[in-house]
Amino acid sequence: MQLIAESGATTTTWICFHPETSQLIQRWESKGLNPVSQDAQTIQKYLTTALEDGQDPHLINQLAFYGAGCTPPYDYKMHTLLQNYFPNAEIIVESDLKAAAIACCNTDAGLVGILGTGSNLCYYDGTDLHQRTPALGYILGDEGSGSYLGKALLRHYLYQQLPQEIHDDLQRSYHLSKSDILDQVYRMPNPKQFLAEFAPFLHRNQQNPHISQLISDCFQAYISNHLTKFEDQKQIPVHFVGSIAFHFKSILTKVIENNGFKMGNVYQAAIDGLIAGKIKDSV
C-alpha cells in the first residue's frame, strides 16, 4: 500500500492509496509530528497510534511524508523514525512547504504561502523551492498565521482596544482573565496552539469593522515582511494552503490584490491538492 502524509503543528492527515490503481482507500488523522519541536520519543509514541485499527505498518511499501520542520538536518531525523516504524517502505521526507507547492502548482511556477497555525512563503519554479525570507516561528515571525491573529486579538483585548460588544463576547466565550492568558502564553507547553485557537472567534466576528481591520493588518504584516520580497514575480499567482487562508479567503484576497499581486489557488490542506494530483495522474 502507498501512504501520503501531511503533518502540521496540530494534525497529521494520512491518505492510503492502492499501489496499482491509485484508488483512494482511506483518509484519517492523527497527532501532528514535528522533528523540530518534538523529541524522538514523542514522535515514536505518536506513530504507534497513527495508523487506524487493523492496519499493519509492515504492509506499507511507499510513504511520502510532508511535514512542518522537515528541512535539513531535521528531515533525516524524521526519515529515520519513519523507517523504523515502516520497515518495508520506500520513504521520502519533504517540508510542508513542498507539499503546498506541489498541491497548488503541480509543475507550474508560482508563489506559494502557508497560512495555518504558522506561516511561510516561497517561490516554486516547478521543481525546487526558493525562499527569500526565513520562517522564524510564532515568537519572532509567523505573520498572518492563526497564532499571529490570536496574539493580535488578545493584545487588543488586554489593552481594552476592542469594541465593547466584541470584548464582552470574547469574555463570555472563553472566560479568560489576564493571568489565565499570561499563564497559557508564558508557562504552558503549547502557547502557539493556544493562540491559534482564537481563529474561530475572529472568523465568527469578521464582519465587525474592528475585527476585519485587525485581520487585514495581520495579513499586511505577512505581505510586507515576505511577499514584497518577490516584487519581481507579480506576474504569477500567489497560492495558499492552510486553514487561515481558506477561512479568511475574502479578506486575504483583498489585501493581496491591494498590494498588486494576483490570488491563485487556496486549499484548506495541501493533502487535498495532493490527492487531486494523484488521482489526475492515474487517469
The CATH number of the domain holding residue 179 is: 1.10.720.160
Please determine, for residue 279, whether its predicted confidence score (pLDDT) is greater than 50. Answer: no
> What letter does residue 206 receive in the DSSP assignment?
T
pLDDT recorded at residue 278: 52
Tell whether 45 is covered by a domain. yes
For residue 224, which amino acid is it?
S
Statement to judge: residues 95 and 145 lie in one domain: no
Q: Which of 156, 215, 207 is nearest to 181 (CA)?
A: 156
Tell whether 235 is covered by a domain. no
Average pLDDT over residues 113-125: 92
Statement to judge: residues 77 and 158 lie in one domain: no
C-alpha distances out from residue 258 to 17, 110, 146, 159, Å: 41, 19, 22, 29
Q: How far apart are alpha carbons 202 and 186 in whole angstroms?
A: 22
| Strands of 2-7's sheet in order across | 24-31, 11-17, 2-7, 62-67, 90-95
Last residue of a domain, one of 172, 193, 216: 216
Statement to judge: residues 92 and 144 lie in one domain: no
CATH code of the domain in which 67 resides? 3.30.420.40
- Determine which of 8-22, 26-40, 66-80, 186-200 has the lowest per-residue pLDDT on average: 8-22
Statement to judge: residues 86 and 152 lie in one domain: no
Last residue of a domain, one of 216, 234, 251: 216
Hunting for cell 475574502 — which residue is that?
250
- Helix boundaries (H) for the chain: 40-48, 74-85, 96-105, 137-140, 146-158, 164-174, 178-186, 191-196, 199-204, 209-225, 243-247, 249-258, 270-282
Tell whether 194 is covered by a domain. yes
Please determine, for residue 276, whether its predicted confidence score (pLDDT) is greater than 80. Answer: no
User: What's the pLDDT tens digit per position in 22-77?
Assistant: 778 888 889 889 998 889 999 999 998 888 766 888 988 899 999 988 988 999 99
Statement to judge: residues 92 and 6 lie in one domain: yes
pLDDT recorded at residue 49: 87
Q: Which of 117, 168, 177, 112 is nearest to 144 (CA)?
A: 117
**How many other CB atoms sit within 10 Å of the CB of residue 249?**
16
Statement to judge: residues 147 and 88 lie in one domain: no
The gap from C-alpha 121 to its chain's centroid, in whole angstroms, comes to: 11
Please tell me which residue, 193 or 18, carries the higher pLDDT value: 193
Tell whether 48 is covered by a domain. yes
Statement to judge: residues 94 and 34 lie in one domain: yes
Please determine, for residue 281, whether its predicted confidence score (pLDDT) is greater than 60. Answer: no
Statement to judge: residues 151 and 71 lie in one domain: no
Statement to judge: residues 151 and 205 lie in one domain: yes
Statement to judge: residues 210 and 152 lie in one domain: yes
Tell whether 173 is covered by a domain. yes
**Cβ density class 261-276: b for 16+ within 10 Å, e for less:** bebbbbbbbbbbbbbe
pLDDT recorded at residue 53: 64
Tell whether 119 is covered by a domain. no
- Containing structural domain, residue 39: 2-99+271-282
Q: How far apart are alpha carbons 29 and 15 in whole angstroms?
A: 9
Statement to judge: residues 147 and 86 lie in one domain: no
User: What's the pLDDT tens digit per position in 134-166?
Assistant: 888 888 989 999 999 999 999 999 999 999 999
> What letter does residue 271 receive in the DSSP assignment?
H
For residue 158, which amino acid is it?
L
- Per the structure, the count of domains in the chain is 2
Statement to judge: residues 29 and 95 lie in one domain: yes
